[in-house]
Structures are given as C-alpha cells and as structure tokens.
Amino acid sequence: MSSRNAILASLRAAQRTPATLPDVPMFDAGLPPALDRFKETFAGMGGIWAEMPVDGDIDALIRARFLDAKVICSAVPEVTGTRRIEQVRDPHELNDVDVGVVRPRFAVAETGSIWLSEVQYQVNSLGYLSQHLVALLDPADIIGNLHHAYHRSDFFDANYAVLMSGPSATADIEGVLIRGAQGTRSLTVIPVPRTVA
C-alpha cells in the first residue's frame, strides 16, 4: 500500500465522531474608518506613511528619501525609477535593488497590511531582495478586516500572494526589535489613487 493510502486509511480508522463546521461571521459591525485605522496599524507594524508630494513627482520623493539609492526598480506606471520590472527575467537580478516600487491590489485596515501577488510584483523577489520598498496605495483599496480579505477571489487568481505588514523584522536576540532582518529594511506607503484599473 502506498504511504498515501496508508495515511488516509489510518485517519479513517480513527473513526472520530464528525464535528460540525461552524459558520464564521464577518465581525465587521462598527469598524472604524478604514484609512485612519490603516495608518494607525501600519505605523504600529513599523510602516512609514508618506503623503503624496504636492507636485505629484513620486520619483523625486523617492530620490529625496533614499539619497544613496542607485537602483530603483519600478513595477508601476507612476514611477519611472532606474529599472523597469518588465525588463527583469530572473529573480536573482533584483539583488542590487535599493528601492522597489509596487502597487498593492488592496490593503487591510485591521492589521496594517498590503496585499501583493505575482500580478502586482511581476517578479516576486522584488518585494524581498530590495533594500527598501515603496507602495503606491489607493485609499479606496483599503478594506476593513481580515475576514473581508479572505473572502476575496484575488487569492484564487494568484500562485503567490502576500499580506505584507511593515518591513522585515525580528526580535530574536534579547527581544531587541530589528527592522530589515532578511527582507526590506523599510516599507513606505504613499496614497496614490489608481489611474489604471
């Protein structure tokens, strides 16, 4: 008998009395205004909120915030950067990226999270090899809580998806908080309404 069949048989042989599956409510009564809540929780997770520059020049804002950045790899039309993600073939190529620029599909106010998949990244490693990440988020894309997030069909359209809540972090050594443990050292969100759907 294959291990597969042996395991399945062993499980069925346990003959546990079937338990009913409970219904899960949306727990969304009285949720606070999404944008305000997102800013709060996002900051709590170590994220940085940067207002849209008055002149609309996000490239300039990025260059000003990351003075030493040599490689700015953009996956969004609003930012030119120094490299387009469309030119990247292999995930390893992104190891020299100082700042990656992405647009999440949606965000979650409850947890301060932005959602990205290979549709938004095009090359997934952009979110993790970049030293810093900047996300252009349409405030209309912020939803209330995780229950709403996990009812979205976006998960079914993606091979890889992440709820990213702030930069890479750890407190593994003496509880001291480190930002930029393995992945990005910072995550900045700029509110930028979508021009393209």
Partner 1 sequence: MKRVDHVKASRAFIADEKHIQFHDKRLWVLRTLRDQAAHSIPEWEELRSLASGIKEHTLTHLADYLEEFERNATNNGVIVHWAKDAEEHNRIVHEILSSHSAKTLVKSKSMLTEECEMREYLEARGITVVETDLGERIQQLDHQRPAHIVVPAVHKLASDVARVFSKTLGTDPDNSDVHYLAEAQRDATRPLILNAEAGMTGCNFAVAETGGITVCTNEGNADLSANVPPLHIASIGIEKVIPKLEHLGVFIRMLSRSALGSPITQYTSHFRGPRKGAEMHFVLVDNGRSARLAMDDFWYSLKCIRCGACMNTCPVYRRSSGLSYGGVYSGPIGAIINPTFDLKKYSALPFASTMNGSCTNVCPVRINIHEQIYKWRQIVAEKHELPFVKKEAMKVAGKVLSEPKLYRAAIKAADTAVAKLPRAFIYNPFNAWGKQREVPDAPEQTFRDWYLKNRKAK
Q: How far is the CB of 53 from partner 1 (least distance, A)?
A: 27
Amino acid at 26: M
Which residue lies nearer to partner 1 by CB, 58 or 142? 142
Which residue lies nearer to partner 1 by CB, 111 or 120? 111
Residue by residue, DSSP assigns 92-117 as GGGGG-SEEEE--SEEETTTTEEEEE
Q: How far is the CB of 108 from partner 1 (least distance, A)?
A: 8
Q: How far is the CB of 90 from partner 1 (least distance, A)?
A: 9
With 0-12 / 13-18 / 19 or more C-beta atoms within 10 angstroms meaning exposed / middle / buried, residue 78 is: middle
| CA separation, residue 34 to residues 30, 37, 39, 78, 88 (Å) | 11, 5, 9, 24, 35
Which residue lies nearer to partner 1 by CB, 61 or 114? 114
Letter string b/e over residues 118-153, b meaning 16 or more CB atoms within 10 A of that residue's CB: eebbebbbbbbbbbbbbbbbbeebbbbbeebbeeee
Q: How far is the CB of 24 from partner 1 (least distance, A)?
A: 6
Which residue lies nearer to partner 1 by CB, 10 or 195? 10
